[in-house]
Chains A and B, each alone.
Chain A
Amino acid sequence: MTTPTRSASLRWLTPNRFGLSVLLIAAFAIIPFAGSDYLLDAVLTPFLALALAALGLNLLTGYAGQVSLGSAAYLAVGAYAAYNFNLRLHGLPFLASLVAAGFVAAAVGIVFGLPSLRLRGFYLAVSTLAAQFFVQWTLTKFGWFSNNNPSGVIDAPPLAVAGLSFSGPVGRYVFSLTVVVVATLLAIRLLRSQVGRNFIALRDHEVAAKVIGVPLLRTKLLAFGVSSFLIGVAGVLWAFAYLRTVEPAGFNLDRSFEILFIIIIGGLASIRGAFLGAAFIVVFPLLLSRFGAALLDNVFDSGVLEMSQRIVIGALIIGLLIAEPRGLIALVDRVADKIRRRLFRPQPGPIRS
């Protein structure tokens, strides 16, 4: 596959890995020092949490082909589970709470994934709404989950892991980044394994998958479990690293749709797509409101501004999906491919998947 003349270290450094290394070095070593509190707190930390949630949903919807509208429910389960583990089990390290919260979300995800054994497509999507409404109702109705706060609001304690405090904007960003990087690496390993192939087989031809012996029940429930585990962990980040004060209403259907939009905009069945889509959804409104405020502040009031912002974003999304139904990632790949071809015209570049 590779020419023997290339040294081992060079072989390791494919263009993909080179780009990824540069990104990771920048994210860990430069941004924490160079980034403003606003950038870290209002842009990057929510971006990371949403990207992880989108990655989770992408495993289920993009790869395994099971549509879900319950993502916000698993975010909420993760957030409230971590809050309660932290509150009620004294001495439990925070990382353990985080992982345990992921498992609780996975369990809830598996229960609400059971209808997928009978339903598919649109019908399955509607049935996953049950998770959405049930979880929100439970968290509002039973005070126990929010330590008897009358409106179900929880206040997350400051982040600290193994005696190290991550309570400032930099700390919360670095903590989120670490969790997201580890979770993403695990997801990549999963997708490259037989289980990942089973997910795609399930999505592309369920009957053929069954005939060759893919365990449908186990594979579907695994997809729901792993997906909601990741979304649950994202919920912990959302509640503990980003907002720090959350209420059940913050995890409503709008949030589920937001995560679904992220993977559709970024690109289904693509890990990079989940990150691109999350960046678009987080960053774009901020940019738009800045420009809007600067340009039209004295013409319109803020309500009109916000409304027109939504319209612009909606129009952009439609435009993008018409231009490239496979999402931003396909667009980026196409442009990168063109540039590479122009740069190395004699020998065409490798095909990216």
Chain B
Amino acid sequence: MSLVATAGGDALIVARARERATEASRVARETSRATDAVRVADAGVPVLTLQGISLSFGGVTALDGIDLAVAKGEIRAIIGPNGAGKSSLLNVVSGLYRPDRGVVQLGSERFRHVPTARLAAVGVARTFQNLALFKGLPVLDNVVMGLVHRRRAGFVRQILSTPQARREEAEARAAAEEAITFLHLDAVKHQLAGGLPYGILKRVELARALVARPQLLLLDEPLAGVTLAEKRELAAHLRNARDAYGTTIVLIEHDIGVVMGLSDRIAVLDYGRKIADGTPDEVRSCQAVIDAYLGVAHEGETELVI
């Protein structure tokens, strides 16, 4: 991975920030603390709270004592070098991994191990770093699947097509059509997901997650592998989703330019530890972050484009 900036401006800012890193970060931290206080007062209980989450695989420490609080309506980015533990963190929140230590709090419910089967019912939806679509279903049906947790009619009712079953089907279809239009997928909605290009599938997966209007949306590299124009468009969609439905978004993203523009706050992971957490300005000027990325650059890259 490399830390890529889409706007040339960021390069300058970070380069300058490095020179006076200590001072700048202290100032930034103080200002952000003030805005934090306002936000927390506004939002009440955070939508997602992590307390001391640790996770290891054999000898590899994927996560090491992570604390995180995400307020309602916030767009929170998680960045960090490859293998920093970003995906592991989302997997802990969605219950696919059971942390060795720590507690995950979703709304008012606290979990040692989040029950994945109840995730959608608790109001959490997610996408995956590697596409996780149902290839044998058309795009529309993939998106309809995003509402499966609301279905009440059992299979006998579905075969008999009782009024309840028909109503649920119609509602799910209408919501899916809306999400599909929202993400400009109308042209492909009757095609099987299996045959479509990567960039479109990323959007289909986002539509499947959005269709349920989740409280909390976890996105693992939703903008990876799509063109720059598509990236801008998707970022706008995410912000629209947040503004329209009040969805809280936690997203992992490597493109620093997009992250800076899109997120309210950014948490930075490195070797499973959280090394920074603050507003884009604050993170940009944080020495630990700069070191982490410089370290990456020293290992393989000839040029650090920040």
Chain A residues close to B by CB (< 8 Å): 186, 189-190, 193-195, 197-198, 200-201, 203-205, 207-216, 222, 226, 269, 353
A213 to B125, CA, bound (A): 10
Sort A-B residue pairs by CB-CB distance and give the 6 closest, nearest first.
A213-B149, A213-B120, A193-B158, A208-B132, A204-B134, A195-B155
A-side contacts of B141, CB under 8 Å: 197
A211 touches B137 (CB 8 A): no
Question: Contact check: which of B96, B137, B149, B192 meets A212 at CB < 8 Å?
Answer: B149
Give min CB distance, A132 to chain B, whole Å. 27
The residue in B94, B141, B159 that gathers the most chain A C-beta atoms within 10 A of its C-beta is B159
A201 touches B137 (CB 8 A): yes
The residue in B126, B134, B161, B208 that gathers the most chain A C-beta atoms within 10 A of its C-beta is B134
A88 to B103, CA, bound (A): 59
Closest A residue to B141 using CB positions: A197
A207 to B97, CA, bound (A): 12
B137 touches A200 (CB 8 A): yes
A190 to B145, CA, bound (A): 16
19 contacts between A and B (CB under 8 A): A189-B159, A190-B158, A193-B158, A194-B144, A194-B169, A197-B134, A197-B148, A198-B148, A201-B145, A204-B134, A204-B135, A205-B132, A211-B96, A211-B132, A212-B125, A212-B146, A212-B149, A213-B148, A222-B155
B-side contacts of A190, CB under 8 Å: 155, 158-159
A208 touches B149 (CB 8 A): no
Give min CB distance, B185 to chain A, whole Å. 17
Within 8 A of A (CB), among B127-162: 128, 132-138, 141, 144-146, 148-149, 151, 153, 155, 158-159, 161
A-side contacts of B94, CB under 8 Å: 211
**Interface size of B as a range:** 35 or more
A204 to B145, CA, bound (A): 13
**Is the C-beta of B1 less than 8 angstroms from some C-beta in chain A?**
no
A201 touches B155 (CB 8 A): no
Question: Given A204-B137, A205-B134, A213-B117, is A197 in contact with B145 using a C-beta cutoff of 8 Å?
Answer: yes
Give min CB distance, A337 to chain B, whole Å. 16
Closest A residue to B193 using CB positions: A204
Chain B residues close to A by CB (< 8 Å): 94, 96, 116-121, 125-126, 128, 132-138, 141, 144-146, 148-149, 151, 153, 155, 158-159, 161, 165, 168-169, 172, 192, 208, 212
Give min CB distance, A131 to chain B, whole Å. 22
Q: What 15 additional pairs, Cβ within 8 angstroms, besides A197-B144, A200-B134? A: A190-B158, A193-B155, A193-B159, A194-B158, A195-B158, A197-B137, A198-B148, A201-B137, A207-B96, A207-B132, A211-B120, A212-B125, A212-B149, A213-B149, A216-B117
B-side contacts of A211, CB under 8 Å: 94, 96, 116, 119-120, 125-126, 132
A194 to B137, CA, bound (A): 12
Closest A residue to B191 using CB positions: A351
B-side contacts of A214, CB under 8 Å: 145, 148
A269 to B165, CA, bound (A): 24
Closest B residue to A188 using CB positions: B159
B-side contacts of A269, CB under 8 Å: 136
Give min CB distance, A54 to chain B, whole Å. 19
A353 to B136, CA, bound (A): 10
Question: Given A190-B159, A213-B120, is A205 in contact with B125 using a C-beta cutoff of 8 Å?
Answer: no
A186 touches B159 (CB 8 A): yes
A186 to B120, CA, bound (A): 30
A201 to B121, CA, bound (A): 18
The residue in A186, A205, A208, A222 that gathers the most chain B C-beta atoms within 10 A of its C-beta is A208
Closest B residue to A210 using CB positions: B116
B155 touches A208 (CB 8 A): no
A193 touches B208 (CB 8 A): no
A71 to B94, CA, bound (A): 37
Closest B residue to A217 using CB positions: B117
A256 to B128, CA, bound (A): 38
B158 touches A213 (CB 8 A): no
A269 to B134, CA, bound (A): 14
Closest A residue to B94 using CB positions: A211
Question: Contact check: which of A198, A205, A215 meets B117 at CB < 8 Å?
Answer: A215
A144 to B57, CA, bound (A): 55
A201 touches B134 (CB 8 A): yes
A88 to B149, CA, bound (A): 44
